[in-house]
Structure 1
């Protein structure tokens, strides 16, 4: 009986560890529904092998890369992570189509008093259509925002790291 309880506890912990915090999951679900025009979908964590993760410039854990499916059809992928701002970090989401092309970038939670303009749709739309072949450069193909320099550079670096990681994952036939 005790062994069964420990087993159930381990399974429960494992299943819960692959979920986003509830407040983030709600925001991610809304963006998925809006972007892919679906009401019902599966949101499954993709776990990368420990041999692959050290080779990737972006941060990957058990709870930030997901595939989005309806029935048996792959709609795309979601990547949720944090990027540093001046004194804290902000949470962001990137939605990708099955060919790993950016469909949407969204700042989910920004925790600073200044620099929140990086969350504007107008600024974030410059990431749409970017692929693993693109390189983003601050103040060149990525617009600067006065008063948000650190956050703009951070988001640009985070997107470059994600795109470079997607290229590696694609070349290794993982995605």
Structure 2
């Protein structure tokens, strides 16, 4: 087997080996089924060249940004990441349509005793419809939550960085 073929085979196997933890994947699948009103779908990692990924404000890897397809039709994207809270990190999900508009945000796992209100549907719905052209500001166009200041600021910053990253990827025709 020649070098190029071997390299492609190893690279393909490595890409297939990246996935979400089972408990997180179950929650992500449930949200996808709910938002896209679909039972069967493909969930594939989106490859972002490593040099491009390193220059982005948000973390992008083979294990946190996915395309959602059904019958070869792109339904949208899923971005799964972590953001810091007071003493730990929390896991969150952002579902996007094919035009990179936020359809839903969800806190998947929150590991603090205080500040769990950040996961409320009512608070999270303010991110729906946000695009790469939006600039989110805590206390201005993003509502504060008493007792969850650190988590709210962190989540707002994380979503801002994601939107900035998506804009860069879109301008470079990677997405």
Counterpart position of 1:61: 61
Partner of 1:6 in structure 2? none
What is the root-mean-square deviation of aligned Cα atoms in Å? Answer: 1.4
Shift of 1:13: 6.5
| TM, length-normalised to structure 1 | 0.92
Q: Deviations over 1:84-108 (max 9, x none)?
A: 0000000000000000000000000
Measured in 1, the distance between the counterparts of 2:145 and 2:83 equals 17
Which residue pairs with 1:29 in the alignment? Answer: 29
Q: Which residue matches 2:3?
A: none
Give, in whole Å, the separation in 1 of the partners of 2:99 and 2:15.
28
SS state of the match for residue 50, structure 2?
A: coil
| Shift of residue 16, structure 1, vs aligned partner | 5.5
Alignment of 1:1-175 (within 5 A): 14=14, 17-175=17-175
The runs of at least 4 aligned residues of structure 1 exceeding 6 Å deviation read: 10-13
1:51 shift after superposition? 1.4
**In 1, distance between residues paired with 2:146 and 2:57?**
27
- Distance in 2 separating the partners of 1:73 and 1:47: 18
- Give 1:11 deviation, angstroms: 8.3
3-state DSSP of counterpart to 2:111: coil
Residue deviations 1:20-77 (CA, integer Å, cap 9, x gap): 0000000000000000000000000012101101221001121000000001100000
How many positions carry a matched residue from both structures? 166
Ranges in structure 2 where 5+ consecutive residues have no aligned partner: 1-9
Report the Cα distance in structure 1 between the residues aligned to 2:118 and 2:14, rounded to whole angstroms.
34
Instruction: Report the CA distance between 1:14 and its aligned residue.
Output: 2.5
Provide TM-score, normalisation by structure 2: 0.92
